[in-house]
Amino acid sequence: MKYCIYYLFISVALFSCTDYKTQRKDNPNLHVIDLDNLERASDLNFSDLFKNVVPVVLETTPNSLIGFINKLYITNDLIIILDNTTAKSIFVFNKEGDFLHKIGSFGGGPGQYVFLADFSIDTLNKIIYVLDSQTQKIHQYNIYSGEFIKSVKLNNNMTNWHIHYKNNEFYANGGDFSDTNNEFLLHRIDINSGETIEAWFNYTEYNKGVNFPSNNNKSPFLHTFQGDMKFHTFFMDTIMSITANEIMPFLTFASKNLLTKKDMENIDINSDFQKIYSFKKYFNLFTYFEFSDFILLQFLHGDYGRTVLYDTKNKSAKFVNFFDDLTYRESTKTFPTFVFMDQKGIYISVNLYIMNSFIEKRNNGELSLSLLNNRKIQELSEDSNEILLYYEFKH
């Protein structure tokens, strides 16, 4: 099998292979966010962006107990949740939050998994792909029935932690490479054989020399409704746009306070990770959503979370502080946990860390009237699953 490796910088392609269809291009319209020259943080009320809030209370039963939402994906009629921390399961709910079934089960038999790392959805064919990082297998199931279809062993020179299906193409990301000549962060995979077709982004240049996915629960595959796929690993400074035909930089960060490769030279990623926070540098983009002419981004500045709203039309950006005046009777400053976005709105998780506070505000009558009058909100207890709040866009 012919095997092409792309070794790419933003402006220079050191190697390419014309036999394959994915060709590297420069982007004359590259978006640049200069973090050192943004306006002071602006206060932004939720009501400036959204017209209402609708709760989605996830049913709590002995079979649907969720410890932590590591990943969430929503189709036209389903909510799919991965908890690989506590329950070590994938749960399927309907859009109203009623529990339907789990996907697969723990074990070593056909269709069973040892450690759930990630999943991806093919909505057209009603398939969920599930990655077991322990066995390096991708299991396929029917998303509606949970029926096991088949498994494919990945054979691509790395420990895979994340997978992504889009537009009939399949991708994998990972680290801990077994072949030092082929240390690339992103692989396009033949889903039938598990073999690599193409690979891009040498970790030395693109991930500050770190070849281990430091945050295994943060997928590098960013959520977008466009025809392209957006890719950004934990220590990258540039978001890449990838289609079946081309690859190019889409958005990059500029700052004298970006985390550097030199910063990481003496860091043992397994034992010294806390030292990275002490550098007070920008890194770890953990939220990315595109809507209308805007991009919402959240990342770390040391151990402090920052939010930026970027206007793609005017190519301007600003730091923002969010105030939630739709969930609460009085506008309340918040750093929301955005978990998913569809064409009409965005979902925020009320996770177990803040559930007690949410219930206390309910008991004190501090929630909005629409939430206080919701029966399922009134029935919430400290033992309930996380809930989702859906905020519908104004425009």
| Spatial separation of the C-alpha atoms in residues 54 and 58, rounded to whole Å | 13
List the beta bridge partners of residue 92.
Answer: 80, 101
pLDDT score for 25: 61
Interval 330-368: pLDDT, tens = 999 999 999 999 999 999 999 988 999 999 999 999 999
Model pTM?
0.91
3-state SS assignment for residue 95: coil
319, burial (CB in 10 Å: exposed 0-12, middle 13-18, buried 19+): middle
Q: How far apart, in whole angstroms, are the C-alpha atoms of residue 7 and residue 15? A: 6
Q: Using an 8 Å Cβ cutoff, are 166 and 155 in contact?
A: no
- Using alpha carbons, select from 141, 245, 260, 139 the residue that is nearest to residue 210: 260
Are 45 and 364 spatial neighbours (Cβ–Cβ below 8 Å)? no
Give the DSSP H/E element, type plus range, for residue 369. helix 369-372
What are the DSSP calls for 165-233, one per residue?
EETTEEEEEEE--S-TT--EEEEEE-TTT-BEEEEEEEHHHHSTT--S-S-TTS-SEE--SSSSEEE--
Task: Report the greatest alpha carbon distance in the chain.
Answer: 66
Q: Which residues contact 358 (CB under 8 A, 6 or more apart)?
A: 350, 367, 380, 387
48 contacts: CB under 8 Å, gap ≥ 6: none
Q: Under DSSP, is residue 297 helix (H, G, I), strand (E, B) or coil?
A: strand
Please enumerate in sequence order all residues whose Cβ is within 8 A of that of 319, keeping only pairs 6 or more positions apart, or say none: 38, 39, 40, 41, 42, 306, 307, 308
For residue 292, the model assigns a pLDDT of 87
Residue type, 296: L
| Continuous segment of H or E residues that includes residue 143 | none
Spell out the domain ranges in the chain.
4-259+277-393
Question: Which residues of the chain are modeled with pLDDT < 50?
Answer: 1-21
pLDDT of residue 137: 96
Do 257 and 279 touch, CB atoms closer than 8 A? no
- Name the CATH topology of 4-259+277-393: Neuraminidase (2.120.10)
